[in-house]
Amino acid sequence: MSPSWISTRHVDPVKEGNATGTPPSSPICVFLLVVTIGLGVGLGVGLTRSHEQDGSASTEPSPPLGNITNATTGTFWKPTAGTPWQIVLEYALNDTSIDVPVYDIDLFTNPASTIDSLHAMNRSVICYFSAGSYEDFRPDSGNFTKDDYAKPLDGWPGEWWLNTNSSNVRNIMRARIALAASKGCDGVDPDNVDGYDNDTGLDLTEDTAINYLTFLAVEAHSRNMSIGLKNAGGIVNATLDMLQWEVNEQCGQYDECEDFQQFLDAGKPVFRIEYPSSAPDISTTTLDGICNNTAAVGFSTVVKLMDLDNWVEYC
């Protein structure tokens, strides 16, 4: 594609010639025209190459979404505000004794039979996957290319931030959402969509995150599954209408709970997790401090260990 400053309009020598319709025939004119075009193209190529070689990371423009009707409409599960829940991601679910109506579990490590068992207990199932990071330990990790990811996630070995504008990344996520549907998941929990707020080595912005979440919502809703927002307080306003809940980590610890109040106001749950450093030894004072946060009244709060194993404490 030609650089934007080079006109690609076809020049008809008859229409662009002299007043009589005779094409310009002067050798000097022809020579100058050729030189001008050559310099323009060369300049464009040179600038493009210097941008590619300057060492800065860049991403593709956000892909057009086409028909996005299913971003907000469809027949899918819609949990209500205040719904209690449990989340276990450390390993395949092996304890269903916590009597709550919603379980958030890992998409890859849990078979369809686990989801069927939860459904038999009248529980809805959210299936977790990382939508914004490359994890080298996932069964589909070989489908990513080196161009799909950049800097590592600080504190999470084996993970790198993804270029969420990549068509290859989106194809992989489409396949993950299809896998969730085939296993019978009621909804999906796409993690790490807040690359815009982290040092990713990529040119990710709030706008690219909104575009990506719209894509994910279309894919989930078209398969009769709901979808939530993970953290990403900066884009609550723009995504509230098309998402069915918020999963938040540590809004109490970082004094950010007010950022997610709009979900509650819309009748949608805020599935809140707090990770106190003393867990699993939680004092009454610590638990009260978490549960009595006035900015989180009505949130579906759980107290967990950072590795998100079976252990849980409720308010």
pLDDT at 98 over 60: yes
176 plus 300 within the same structural domain: yes
Beta strand ranges found along the chain (DSSP E)? 85-88, 102-106, 124-130, 133-135, 149-152, 159-162, 187-191, 226-227, 229-230, 246-249, 270-274, 300-303, 313-314
Tokens (6 digits) for 177? 């959402």
In this predicted structure, which of 18-27, 102-111, 207-216 has the lowest mean pLDDT?
18-27
Q: What does the CA dihedral 118, 124, 125, 131 come to, rounded to 10 degrees?
A: 180
CATH number, domain with residue 110: 3.20.20.70
- The arithmetic mean of pLDDT across residues 9-15, rounded, is 31
Mean pLDDT for the chain overall: 85
Q: What gap in Å lies between CA 269 and CA 17, rounded to an integer?
A: 69
- Cα(189)–Cα(187) distance, integer angstroms: 7
Residues 6 or more apart whose Cβ sits within 8 Å of residue 45: none
- CA 172 to centroid of chain Cα atoms: 13
- Residue 43: predicted pLDDT: 37
Q: Report if residue 63 sits inside a domain.
A: no
Q: pLDDT > 90: what percent of the chain?
A: 77
Question: Is the residue at 60 inside a domain?
Answer: no
Going by pLDDT thresholds of 50, 70 and 90, the confidence category of residue 71 is: confident
Q: Identify the pLDDT of residue 163.
A: 98
Burial 193-209 (b: 16+ CB within 10 A, else e): bbbbbeebbbbbeeebb
Residues 138 and 265 reside in one and the same domain:
yes
SS3 content of the chain, % helix, strand, coil (to 5): 35, 15, 50
Query: Is the same domain home to 224 and 162?
Result: yes
Same domain, 37 and 163: no
Distance (Å, whole) CA 118 – CA 57: 44
Flag whether 61 is in a domain.
Answer: no
pTM of the full structure: 0.81
Average pLDDT over residues 114-120: 98
Task: Classify burial at 222, counting beta carbons within 10 Å of its beta carbon; exposed 0-12, middle 13-18, buried 19 or more.
Answer: middle
Give yes or no: residues 98 and 174 share one domain.
yes
Is the pLDDT at 70 greater than 60? The verdict is yes
Does residue 48 lie in a domain region?
yes
Same domain, 118 and 155: yes
**Among 24-28, 116-120, 193-197, 245-249, the least confident range:** 24-28
Write out the two tokens for 93.
């679910």
User: How much is the average pLDDT of 120-133?
Assistant: 98
Cis previous bond, 280, omega within 30? yes
pLDDT in tens, 189-205: 999 999 999 999 999 99
Structure tokens belonging to residue 25 = 């025939």
Range of the domain at 20: 1-55
- Taking only the tens place, the pLDDT of each residue in 15-65 is 333 333 433 344 443 333 333 434 343 334 333 333 333 344 555 678 877
Q: Is residue 182 part of a domain?
A: yes
Please say whether the beta carbons of 191 and 129 come within 8 A.
Answer: yes
Same domain flag for 108 and 76: yes
| Residue at 297 is within a domain | yes
| One domain, residues 117 and 193 | yes
Q: Which of 28, 55, 82 is the last residue of a domain?
A: 55
Q: What is the mean pLDDT of residues 127-146?
A: 98
Residue 54, classified by CB atoms within 10 Å of its CB into exposed (0-12), middle (13-18) or buried (19+), is exposed
Query: Are residues 310 and 227 located together in one domain of the fold?
Result: yes
Q: Do 85 and 229 sit in the same domain of this protein?
A: yes
Q: How many domains does the chain have?
A: 2
Residue 142 sits at the vertex; the CA angle it makes with 141 and 146, to the nearest 5 degrees, is 90
124-130 and 102-106 strand pairing: parallel
Domain shared by 286 and 186, yes or no? yes
pLDDT at 35: 37
Q: 13 pLDDT exceeds 60? A: no
Q: According to the model, what pLDDT value does residue 67 have?
A: 63
Could you tell me if residue 30 is inside a domain? yes
Q: Are 128 and 227 in contact (CB under 8 A)?
A: no
47 and 82 in a single domain? The answer is no
Which residues are bridge partners to 270 per DSSP?
246
Structural domain contains residue 248 = yes
